[in-house]
Amino acid sequence: MNALIKSATIVDSKSDFHNETVDILIEKGRIAKISKRISNPNNYREIKLDNLHVSQGWFDSSVSFGEPGYEERETIENGLKTAAQSGFTSVALNANSNPVIDSYADITFVKSKAQSKATSLYPIGALTKSSNGKDLAELFDMKNAGAVAFYDYQKPISNPNLMKIALQYASNFGGLVCSFPQESKISGKGVVNENINSTRLGLKGNPALAEELQIARDLFLLEYTEGKLHIPTISTAKSVELIRAAKQKKLDVSCSVAIHNLVLTDDSLEGFDTRYKVLPPLRTQNDCDALIEGLKDGTIDMVTTDHNPIDIEDKKVEFDFAKYGTIGLESAFGALQTVFTTKKTIGLLTQGKERFGVKESIIKEGEAADLCLLNPNVNYQFDKSDITSRSKNSAFLGMELNGKTYGIIANNKIVLK
């Protein structure tokens, strides 16, 4: 694949060309030359786009596509196309499927479905067999097949001894164990944040305490085992404090926050719209502020879309019976830019790669082209025409966003909208 990108402003603090507007020549999938002006004698494909900015390719540590088993929600092929058009050159795929991805063969299957795509797929294997929380899955075998972490998607491990054993066992081969932060006996049948809004709307509350208790437990287990832990999608101010203290003790812990938990609060629930039924639930503005501060000071390691396509039959029902989840790939950049600067937003979208075994890409000559193409200065109302996913369950529909992506150049391929 050969191409010439014209008049692109590079946004990459690790590049010698950061903040410069340049041409980028790509030959056979690698960056051959970066200069103020490059001619095109070989008649390569020229890419000229309005207010074009270029950054490292983005990474998402938590996406679900449905396949195998829930192809009506999303397929791996269309999911990777959506990720590519949204600026992501690598994604970590949750074991949120039927059957659950919990064996060497399952990891091999999803990797084969993603071969030759512009966006690279990094499978996350289930932590327990069938994600039932009872017996550990074949962690070492899945690691050898290419699994980058182990996680029962949005299913807490209630047995502390099982979590202890998982951390001990995985530490033998550097495996990353993920633990969903929710104490199920405390959360009970809660469907939204326990707060004045849950009382006013008559919806059962899921208290912040449920998340914080589980995190506190897991951090004690982590200290005991000296393992390697990732806590996905934290959502409360106290959770940030707990993880900040753990990092000060030099524990090997990382965490992420879902973009919708940064931008939206439980005030959105006013109309009982199930697009806002997510897990963990939308919390308060105080929680959002603490999460944003946690990102700024490095306590929170990465953001994620927690992209989770749900078909209309499971969303267009009463709030109590609707499935949890929102899609988030298409809206990620525009939503983050309602909170952060362009430089900070792009920095957040490229963080977390090393934790999940993804090679970092720097924009410099000789490196493989792993690029996101974007326009950071477009204000628009996000609607269904902006959605490539099969499922349309976006919590950001109708919201004013800032910034759009054009697509990516990665894995010797170009994907543009």
> Among all chains, which residue has been given the structure tokens 């590049």?
15
CA angle 280, 259, 347 (to 5 degrees): 140
Pairing label, strands 120-125, 88-93? parallel
Q: Give the bridge partners for 11, in sequence order.
A: 55
Question: What positions carry a catalytic annotation?
Answer: 306
Q: Is the peptide bond before 160 cis (omega within 30 degrees of 0)?
A: no
The region, left, alpha or beta by phi > 0 then psi within -120 to 50, assigned to residue 272 is left
- Residue partners of 192: CB distance under 8 A and separation at least 6: 198, 201, 203, 204, 205, 206, 266, 269, 277, 281, 282
Q: What is the CA radius of gyration of the chain?
A: 21
Pull the structure tokens for residue 349: 């979208």
Q: Is the peptide bond before 156 cis (omega within 30 degrees of 0)?
A: no
- Burial of residue 174 (CB within 10 Å: 0-12, 13-18, 19+) is exposed
The region, left, alpha or beta by phi > 0 then psi within -120 to 50, assigned to residue 131 is left
